[in-house]
Amino acid sequence: PDSRGAEPPDTTDLDRLRSAASGCQACPLYQDATQTVFGEGTARAKVLVVGEQPGDKEDLAGEPFVGPAGKLLDRAFEEAGFDRRSLYVTNAVKHFKFKRDERGKRRIHQKPGRTEVVACRPWLLAELRSVRPELVLLLGATAAQSLLGPKFRLTAHRGEPLEPPEELAGLVPAAMATVHPSAVLRAPDRDEAYASFVADLQAAAKLLG
Ligand code: URA
């Protein structure tokens, strides 16, 4: 690894990866975020779940999906019949990107850009090599495009079994993309959005052996 900790070390040990990622300066987001939020779960997880980036709560806690989107996600996974212990949960980008509101108090989420997603991708690939999941579940366009490329269109392919690109064959046996749980929280008809989110998770569960 170089001195800026920009490259994951050559290991499949999640604790070593997490510790190395805590010093990552591969993009400028480390400067304002509280800490790196690495993935959570065991190396034996069957399903690797990818979100966008940590939010305000996650940035402070150092854990993925502990805020409102995470609560919704937990409930939806339970309803779709997933065992929490079968999941490894992480994000495409591992530092919180935000701007301050006018009074400088609230931190407002900003969508990560392609350069940040690309800078962080080696960590996601290292997590994939460590966990070797049966299924990768991509939550939202940022997660999906991180693995599948910027041309991927979530609206056209949500809920479908996806063909992983050749460079990931072997690493990603099966994949599905669906909406981000934050999009469910913001939807005008939240009940309907939630029901189709759970339906996608149920379809994803069927891809497991
Ligand atoms: N949204 C995400 O994409 N990831 C988190 O960890 C929390 C909210």
pLDDT digits (tens, 9 = 90+) for 167-187: 998 899 999 999 999 999 999
2 located within any domain:
no
Give the list of residues 6+ apart from residue 150 with CB closer than 8 angstroms, or none: 114
Give the list of residues 6+ apart from residue 60 with CB closer than 8 angstroms, or none: 34
Question: Which residues form ligand 1's pocket by a CB distance below 6 Å?
Answer: 51-55, 58, 64-65, 67, 69-70, 91, 182
Amino acid, single-letter form, for residue 20: A
Mean pLDDT over 84-110 rounds to 95
Most informative mutation of 36, 91, 95, 127 for ligand 1 (most atoms within 8 A of CB)? 91
CA angle 117/199/130 to nearest 5° reads: 40
Phi-psi region of 52 (alpha: psi -120 to 50; beta: other; left: phi over 0): alpha
9 located within any domain:
no
Q: Looking at residue 1, what is its pLDDT?
A: 41
Confidence of residue 5 (pLDDT cuts 50, 70, 90): low
4 located within any domain:
no
Average pLDDT in the chain: 95
Residue-wise pLDDT for 154-171, tens only, equals 999 999 999 988 999 889
Q: Is 21 a residue whose pLDDT tops 50?
A: yes
Amino acid, single-letter form, for residue 165: P
Q: Looking at residue 84, what is its pLDDT?
A: 81
98 located within any domain:
yes
Mean pLDDT over 78-93 rounds to 95
3 located within any domain:
no
Domain count, the chain: 1
Domain of residue 74: give its range. Answer: 14-205
Q: Can you spell out the DSSP letters for 29-70? A: GGGTSSS----BS-TT-SEEEEES---HHHHHHTSTT-SHHH
Distance 77 CA to ligand 1 centre (A): 15
6 located within any domain:
no
Q: What is the pTM of this model?
A: 0.96
Q: Looking at residue 74, what is its pLDDT?
A: 97
CATH code assigned at 49: 3.40.470.10
159 located within any domain:
yes
ipTM value: 0.93
Q: What are phi and psi of 178, to 5 degrees?
A: -140, -175
149 located within any domain:
yes
